[in-house]
Amino acid sequence: MALTIKVLENKPRVFVVTLAGSLDSTTYPQLESKLAYLLTEGAAKVVTLDVAGLDFISSMGIRVVFKAQKDLARAGGYLCLARIPAPIQKAFEIVEALPSMQIFSSIAEMDAYLAKMQGL
C-alpha cells in the first residue's frame, strides 16, 4: 500500500505533515527524506505529523518518527503527533513510546496549540 505525504507550512518553520496509507518498510524512505528536507531546507522547528489517514505503521515507520523527534530536538525544535487512529496508537503502545511526545487528538487542538506558538 502506498503512502501519501502532504506538507503544509502552518507558519514559518512550523509544519504539518499529513500522512495517509501505509508507513512501512517500503514507504518509510519517502517520509524520512521529506522530513530531512524540512529540517535542512525549511529550518523546521516544529513538525506535527497528522496520522489520521495512516492504516499501518511498521517498526521502520516508528523509527522515522523517533529519528525526526531526535533531529528536531538537536535543532532546538520538537515533534508532535496528531489524530492517532487506533491501529497506529496500538503500534506505539507496543513500544510504550507515546508518553514522551506531544499528542493532539483533533485538528482544533492542534491548531490552538500551533496558534500559541510564538517567536519561531
Residues of this chain that bind another protein (CB under 8 A) = 24-25, 56-60, 62-64, 66-67, 69-70, 73, 90-91, 94-97, 99-100
Cβ atoms of residues 38 and 45 within 8 Å: no
Question: What's the N-to-C CA distance of the chain in angstroms?
Answer: 36
Nearest distance in Å: CB 107, another protein: 27
Q: Which is nearer to another protein, 24 or 111 (by Cβ)?
A: 24
User: Quick one: cell of 79?
Assistant: 515533534
Nearest distance in Å: CB 23, another protein: 10
Nearest distance in Å: CB 35, another protein: 12
Q: Which is nearer to another protein, 76 or 99 (by Cβ)?
A: 99
Q: Which is nearer to another protein, 10 or 67 (by Cβ)?
A: 67
Q: Rounded distance, CA 7 to CA 21, Å?
A: 15
Q: What is the DSSP letter of 101?
A: S
Q: Rounded distance, CA 44 to CA 80, Å?
A: 12
Q: Which is nearer to another protein, 44 or 62 (by Cβ)?
A: 62
Q: Rounded distance, CA 68 to CA 62, Å?
A: 10
Nearest distance in Å: CB 25, another protein: 6
Neighbours of 116 (CB within 10 A): 7
